[in-house]
Amino acid sequence: MAKTKTTKTKLPTKMGKKTSPKTPTMSAKKPSLNVRTTKTIYNPVSHHIYHDGNSYRVRAIRKGVKFSQCFSSKKKAFEFRKNILSA
């Protein structure tokens, strides 16, 4: 039985350069159209009070001053709105 010698053949490479997978550079990267950004959607509950699913936001203007604050409960939001608009 004769032994056969197996040899691995190397692919030719350019002199002085190592081959590596191509990676895009930052300047050559095109903007992707599939990028999603999250945007909070506020649903109106009452005048000046909005709900985003987790918290309640009160937004009101009194004497040219803007007030915007988030609350964990609807009751606290209504109390804050009452204090702002009645003062």
Q: What CA–CA distance (Å, rounded) separates 67 from 43?
A: 18
Q: Is the pLDDT of residue 1 over 60?
A: no
Amino acid making up residue 22: K
Cβ atoms of 71 and 56 closer than 8 Å? yes
Q: What is the pLDDT of residues 6-16, one digit of tens each?
A: 666 666 666 66
Q: What is the pLDDT of residues 28-86, one digit of tens each?
A: 666 667 777 788 889 999 999 999 999 999 999 999 999 999 999 999 999 999 999 99
Q: What pLDDT, on the 0 to 100 scale, is given for residue 11? A: 61
